[in-house]
Amino acid sequence: MATGIFRATSQQWASRTLRVGAAPKLRTALTGQTLKRSTLSATAQWQQAVRPVLCASFHSSPFRLAPETAANPLKEPPKITAESITVGGKTYKTDSFTNVTPTVLEKTTRQLHLIPTHPIAIIKDLIYSAFPDFKHYETFSPVVTTKENFDDLCFSDDHPGRAVTDTYYVNEKIMLRTHTSAHQLKVMTEADKVLVTADVYRRDEIDASHYPVFHQMEGAQLFDAKTAVDDIRKSIAADTSAVSGSIHTTDTTVITPENPKQDCHDEAAMLATADHLKYSLNMMVRKLFSHEKDLQVRWIDAQFPFTSPSWEMEILYQGKWLEVLGCGVIRQDILINAGKSDKIGWAFGLGLERLALVLFGIPDIRLFWSQDERFLRQFEPSKIQKFKQFSKYPPCIKDISFWSNDDFHENNFCEIVRDIAGDIVEDVQLIDEFTHPKTKKRSVCYRINYRSMDRNVTNAEINELQEKLREEVVQRMKVELR
Ligand code: DAH
């Protein structure tokens, strides 16, 4: 069974529902998001999959210094020991929740969205240009509290996003942000029109469109609740931004008890805010997809803990509906906590990789992290141009089969693969599984596709990695090789 369903930068993560006891590969129809729940305690997970890596990496930290100097503390290489982790110049204690790995922490120094010729930054700048007088935030540390990432945004205590299988924890209360919404409350205390761009981190599987780090942009705009209807009407009427091409929108959304107006909101103000939100985002995608003459957009109902009502926007691109963003009317509790109780507002969140992959025609999400000049030299600030494929190095394919156990979780397996082989892994696929009729034991076979973006890999080198993987999965996941 292929695992390569497009998810890259799904916004639905926050909205996904939990289906306990389901097959390990259940995905939502829209997003391809895998729905799964941790079956292990945090401590067991840490012991099983992560702690050995952290401890092993203590003496031989693999971090490379980023080319820029240390003016930005995030450019300093993270330090990692069994007792503490230093990221962005701050040190945090580890505990039984800790599951961040050196490979992933290393990515915090890269800051792709700040490199003007990088596709991620080019998309970012184009979106900025659609929101001319918004305040930008783009250098927040990726280390946030669970309060900022979840509690402040009204996530329930048992929301699956909190699971240690899905999220990177520095310790029980400190984590790598899983979305830019983690900064929403803070920035709204400072301004009424905000855009936050940042790298976000989620434990995931491995293939051409899944990577444990990607980039998101969060936007929010607030209005005076009392005058919102008038202010919004005037602001849309006064909008003179030139857009080329037409846009066809289908909006089948309805305000229902499943996707309700908040009791505290005046209906007219809420509807005006929703109109302004959809209008602003339609204009934004019209700008991004300027080469599409006749852009088709559809709006559908959604659910997020921090907005109500909530929607998603999809775009018809090369015959397929592409999920672009999640958005909605901000929960008033969040505005009250931000000291903005007299306002009403909208927010949206979108994934930059997802847009960059299709707009630049980039075939593999790992390319965004490539340091190969043949990639980096192709792009210019503010310009979308098609990626020109340079010769790919040959792949090296290896299979691993084992009897899994009740504690087995695919994300933990992928984490081990990533730790051992890093970006040399292009793809991990579950190619076979069966349950033994007598013993009822479940056997799985994973195919690992090793391929470097930057060089030829030798069979001998891959054999060595595969051997290490075989040893580590037995040791850390307590599975039995076949
Ligand atoms: N934070 C959401 C995610 O990563 C995306 C999102 C949805 C952001 C709706 C928003 C919003 O601000 O209103 O899944």
Higher pLDDT, 408 or 30: 408
- Res. 329 pLDDT band, cuts 50 70 90: very high
| Mean pLDDT along residues 313-335 | 95
Residues 215 and 138 sit within 8 Å (Cβ to Cβ): no
- In 99-194, which ranges are continuous DSSP H helix? 102-106, 119-130, 146-149, 184-190
Q: How far is CA 57 from CA 75, 80, 81, in A?
A: 20, 8, 8
The residue that leads in pLDDT, 328 or 7, is 328
Q: To test the ligand 1 pocket, which listed residue (185, 217, 324, 327) has its Cβ within 8 A of the most ligand atoms?
A: 327
CA of 327 to the centre of ligand 1 (A): 6
The answer to whether the Cα torsion of 260, 264, 267, 270 is positive or negative is negative
Residue 45 tokens read as: 């997970």
Query: Tokens for 394?
Result: 């040959």
State yes or no: pLDDT of 234 exceeds 60.
yes
Lowest-pLDDT choice from 21-35, 154-168, 232-246: 21-35
Residue 6: pLDDT band (50, 70, 90) is: very low
Q: Tell which one of 13, 16, 144, 181 to mutate to probe ligand 1, the residue whose CB is within 8 A of the most ligand atoms.
A: 181
Contact 221, 278 (CB under 8 A): no
Question: Which helix (H) or strand (E) is 433 found in, with range?
Answer: strand 425-435
Confidence of residue 14 (pLDDT cuts 50, 70, 90): low
Q: Please state the rounded mean pLDDT for residues 441-455.
A: 92
Question: Considering the chain, what is the average pLDDT of its residues?
Answer: 85
Q: Whose CA is nearest to atom 2 of ligand 1?
A: 11
**The token pair that represents 246 in the structure block:** 């037409």
pLDDT over 70 at 7, yes or no: no
Please list, in sequence order, all residues whose beta carbon lies within 8 angstroms of the beta carbon of residue 471, skipping any fewer than 6 positions away.
none
Residue 128: per-residue pLDDT: 98
Contacts (Cβ under 8 Å, ≥6 apart) of 430: 1, 3, 25, 410, 444, 445, 446
Residue 318's pLDDT is 84
| Both tokens assigned to 252 | 């089948």
- Nearest residue to 224 (alpha-carbon basis) of 346, 347, 342, 341: 342
pLDDT at 460: 95
Name the percent of the chain lying above pLDDT 70.
85
Query: Which ligand 1 atom is at minimum distance from the Cα of 346?
Result: 13
pLDDT at 61 over 90: no
Rounded distance between C-alpha atoms, residue 16 and residue 305, angstroms = 10
Pocket of ligand 1 (CB under 6 A): 11, 13-14, 179, 181, 218, 304, 307, 326-328, 347-349
DSSP-derived secondary structure for 175-216: EE-SSGGGGHHHHHHH-SEEEEEEEEE-----BTTB-SEEEE
Q: Whose Cα sits closest to atom 8 in ligand 1?
A: 349
Token pair 């037995």: residue: 474
pLDDT in tens, 177-195: 999 999 999 999 999 999 9
Supply the residue whose CA is at minimum distance from atom 7 of ligand 1: 326
Is the pLDDT assigned to residue 372 strictly greater than 60?
yes
Of 11-20, 288-297, 311-320, 458-467, the one with minimum mean pLDDT is: 11-20
pLDDT of 193-219, one tens digit each? Answer: 999 999 999 998 878 888 999 999 999
Q: How far is the CA of 326 from the centre of ligand 1 (A)?
A: 5
Express each pLDDT in 235-282 by its tens digit.
999 887 767 778 999 999 999 999 999 999 999 999 999 999 999 999
